[in-house]
């Protein structure tokens, strides 16, 4: 019996619990889904995680989530031009999927509301652990999204862009994708909004079958009025390759979790991330990577730029299971701190139960190199422009690693956009 | 064009005085060589001219076209036409050389109230300048100076100088690290820039470079002062007799 007194609920906790009671009759789902929702709201009733929960140590959600907006947005969100030219766009606008979708050969798309109603996605709705507040929040409230199935052997010529766009209010979205054996795809997950107090939970689940190759780009450009709680979960099968690129360039309170398992030998995972942090914001990227089978590889590189009073967090945890011999994993987190009031916390963790592995991690925090700045200025480039060039260079190095001209150009354009408004 | 008057300067960090009452005048159209033993303040002088913040001027003045430049930052000095070819050019990962050249040229044009260069015109100028220095244009697709050999870096400096068309060029030991063929190419590049409205200050240890870039005046720097000035024969004299004689005379 738990004897300690339940602390008084915060305004946000109360608002979420009340909203669940009001929304329940509107949420799609069969009996199995409804059971999952009940379990999830129970977890929230126990309280949002605080800094005393290890995985939330640097992001005290209970303290930071100060208010929860009403559900409905006052204005409609509009679909955006895709990040990559020619992409097939699947929009979720203010939490609702679209009935009218592009036809892409080899790709089957279903609205998630339908898959909730028929209960076929119920097994995937469980949070991944007791501290999975984002999973619980999303399972309780998820109303829509997409299920995308890319058939075995499909070589997608054009990228797919999943757009999750809000103009305020709440949205709880799930994006499920299976990439069949030997299939190849570029998928953009666009997370953006147009202002207005917003609370977004978004869970992406990706399964890569044998030999599949996917580049998945998360482009997060929420307005600074949005709380963005997101999760990306992936299983990487035998000889499959996943490159995940995460760009955080917005939001007031952001947590992007990356939960990946290598499930087949020869699986390879690359995480490349840039955090562009400004204003009085809080952005947390938390990765949990499980190497569960032998002969799998991973590399993680994060580059962070911190300005203003922004606070950033990167937690990277690599678990190498007992039988996962010959695992090769490397993780690096480099931060450029441009303001005395900004901060960045890094917590790398390696937990290794196998005895024949190569694993390493490193973290640095630096300022702009004054020799470099002098060199650029000595060529007539004014100080502001020169600093901009050097900061951009610091993060662009990670983008250029993607080694695909269209991707690099598109992401550098997003980068330029951010610098033109925050430089 | 350049008048340095009783200049005293020290290292900001530890207060060490490096330049101790230096006087030097270089006229438009003139090529002046500054020679001197190690530690005499040659490189420091070049950094002070370019405006590096690690040094502090405590006395005296530097006039460029009659105006003091001491209050100008490095970018303002560059836009006004002062160029330093670095002894050790910086490697800057992530900044593409081409992009850097375009930004530098256009920022200087902007500071002078000129329109930015159109891309084809920019490319044409870069290609011509690179060809004249026997540089492979593909090198310029790499990040700035990254992976360049010592000689390639020096050529890249002269390439920048050609493209930016400064009025006062300061070359800090541009000959170091160059083999004889590269030295000739670099010297030809500098000679091509000689003009009646441009002054060139060549800082060097050795007479060797001055066989290719023949100076109008030679100045010996020692302990932060110009202790002797003369014409090109002074350089030959130093080559034969070393610095000891000149230093002894001055002492």
| Chain A CB contacts of B107 below 8 Å | 380-382, 385
pLDDT in tens, A139-177: 999 999 999 999 999 999 999 999 999 999 999 999 999
Question: Residue A37's pLDDT is what?
Answer: 97
Contacts of A275 (CB under 8 A, 6+ apart): A248, A283, A285, A302, A303, A304, A305, A306, A312, A314
| Domain enclosing residue B85, as ranges | 2-250
Provide the domain count of chain B. Answer: 1
- Indicate the angle between helix axes B97-111 and B119-132, nearest 10 degrees: 110
Nearest to B95 among A371, A374, A389 (CB): A389
A383 interface with B at CB cutoff 8 Å: yes
pLDDT in tens, A219-266: 999 999 999 999 999 999 999 999 999 999 999 999 999 999 999 999
Distance CA B71, CA A391 (A): 26
Question: Residue A406's pLDDT is what?
Answer: 94
Cross-chain residue pair B75–A380, CB shorter than 8 Å? yes
The b/e string for A237-247 (b: 16+ C-beta within 10 A; e otherwise) is bbbbbbbbbbb
pTM to 2 decimal places: 0.86
Compare all CA atoms of chain A with the CA of B86 and give the residue at the minimum distance.
Answer: A375
pLDDT in tens, B152-168: 899 999 999 999 999 99
Sheet strand arrangement including B67-68: B17-26, B2-11, B55-64, B67-68
| Chain A CB contacts of B79 below 8 Å | 380
Nearest to A397 among B53, B75, B93 (CB): B93
CATH code for the domain of B80: 3.40.50.300
Question: Residue B241's pLDDT is what?
Answer: 84
SS3 A258: strand
Cross-chain residue pair A380–B95, CB shorter than 8 Å? no
B→A contacts (Cβ < 8 Å), by residue, are: 50-53, 73-75, 77-79, 83-84, 86, 89-90, 92-95, 99-100, 103-104, 107-108, 111, 143, 160, 164
Question: Residue A1's pLDDT is what?
Answer: 44
What pairs with residue B226 in β-bridges? B221
pLDDT in tens, B85-116: 999 999 998 888 999 999 999 999 988 889 99
Cross-chain residue pair A375–B86, CB shorter than 8 Å? yes
């Amino acid at each position: 019996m738990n004897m300690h007194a339940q602390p008084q609920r915060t305004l946000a906790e109360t608002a979420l619990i009340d909203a669940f009671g009001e929304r329940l009759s509107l949420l799609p789902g069969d009996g199995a889904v409804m059971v999952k929702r009940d379990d999830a709201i129970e977890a929230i009733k126990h309280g949002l995680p605080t800094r005393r929960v290890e995985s939330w140590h640097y992001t005290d959600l209970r303290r930071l989530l100060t208010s929860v907006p009403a559900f409905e947005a006052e204005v409609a969100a509009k679909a955006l031009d895709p990040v990559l030219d020619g992409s097939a766009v699947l929009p979720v606008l203010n939490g609702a999927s679209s009935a009218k979708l592009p036809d892409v050969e080899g790709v089957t798309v279903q609205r998630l509301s339908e898959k909730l109603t028929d209960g076929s996605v119920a097994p995937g709705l469980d949070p991944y652990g007791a501290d999975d507040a984002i999973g619980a929040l999303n399972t309780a409230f998820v109303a829509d999204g997409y299920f995308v199935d890319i058939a075995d052997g499909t070589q997608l010529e054009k990228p797919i862009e999943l757009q999750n766009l809000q103009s305020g209010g709440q949205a709880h979205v799930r994006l499920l994708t299976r990439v069949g054996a030997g299939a190849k795809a570029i998928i953009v997950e666009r997370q953006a909004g147009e202002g207005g107090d917003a609370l977004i939970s978004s869970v992406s689940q990706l399964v890569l079958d044998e030999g599949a190759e996917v580049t998945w780009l998360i482009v997060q450009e929420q307005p600074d009025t949005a709380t963005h709680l997101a999760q990306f979960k992936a299983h990487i099968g035998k000889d499959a390759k996943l490159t995940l690129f995460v760009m955080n360039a917005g939001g007031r309170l952001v947590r992007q979790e990356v939960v990946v398992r290598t499930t087949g030998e020869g699986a390879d995972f690359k995480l490349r991330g840039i955090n562009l942090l400004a204003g009085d914001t809080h952005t947390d990227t938390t990765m949990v990577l499980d190497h569960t089978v032998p002969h799998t590889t991973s590399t993680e590189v994060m580059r962070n730029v911190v300005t203003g009073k922004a606070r950033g967090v990167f937690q990277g945890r690599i678990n190498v299971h007992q039988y996962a011999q010959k695992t090769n994993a490397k993780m690096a987190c480099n931060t450029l701190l441009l303001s005395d009031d900004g901060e960045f916390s890094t917590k790398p963790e390696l937990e290794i139960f196998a005895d024949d592995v190569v694993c390493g991690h490193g973290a640095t925090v630096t300022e702009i190199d004054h020799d470099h700045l002098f060199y650029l200025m000595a060529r007539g480039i004014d100080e502001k422009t020169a600093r901009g060039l050097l900061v951009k260079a610091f993060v662009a190095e990670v983008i250029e690693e993607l080694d695909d001209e269209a991707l690099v150009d598109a992401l550098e354009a997003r980068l330029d956009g951010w610098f033109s408004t925050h430089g | 064009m350049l008048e340095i008057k009783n200049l005293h300067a020290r290292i900001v960090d530890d207060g060490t005085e490096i330049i101790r009452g230096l006087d030097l005048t270089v006229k438009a159209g003139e090529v002046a060589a500054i020679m001197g033993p190690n530690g005499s303040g040659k490189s420091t002088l070049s950094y002070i001219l370019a405006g590096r913040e690690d040094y502090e001027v405590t006395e005296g003045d530097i006039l460029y076209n009659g105006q003091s430049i001491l209050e100008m930052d490095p970018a303002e000095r560059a836009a006004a036409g002062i160029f330093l070819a670095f002894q050790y050019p910086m490697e800057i990962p992530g900044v593409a050389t081409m992009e850097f050249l375009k930004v530098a040229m256009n920022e200087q044009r902007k500071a002078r109230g000129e329109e930015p260069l159109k891309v084809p015109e920019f490319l044409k100028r870069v290609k011509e300048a690179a060809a004249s220095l026997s540089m492979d244009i593909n090198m310029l697709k790499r990040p700035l100076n990254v992976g360049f050999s010592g000689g390639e870096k020096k050529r890249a400096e002269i390439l920048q100088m050609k493209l930016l068309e400064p009025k006062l060029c300061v070359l800090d030991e541009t000959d170091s690290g160059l083999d004889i063929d590269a030295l000739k190419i670099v010297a030809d590049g500098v000679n091509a820039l000689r003009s009646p409205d441009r002054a060139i200050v060549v800082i060097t240890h050795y007479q060797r470079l001055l066989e290719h870039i023949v100076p109008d005046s030679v100045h010996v720097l020692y302990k932060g002062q110009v202790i002797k000035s003369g014409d090109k024969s002074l350089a030959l004299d130093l080559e034969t007799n070393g610095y000891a004689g000149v230093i002894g005379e001055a002492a």
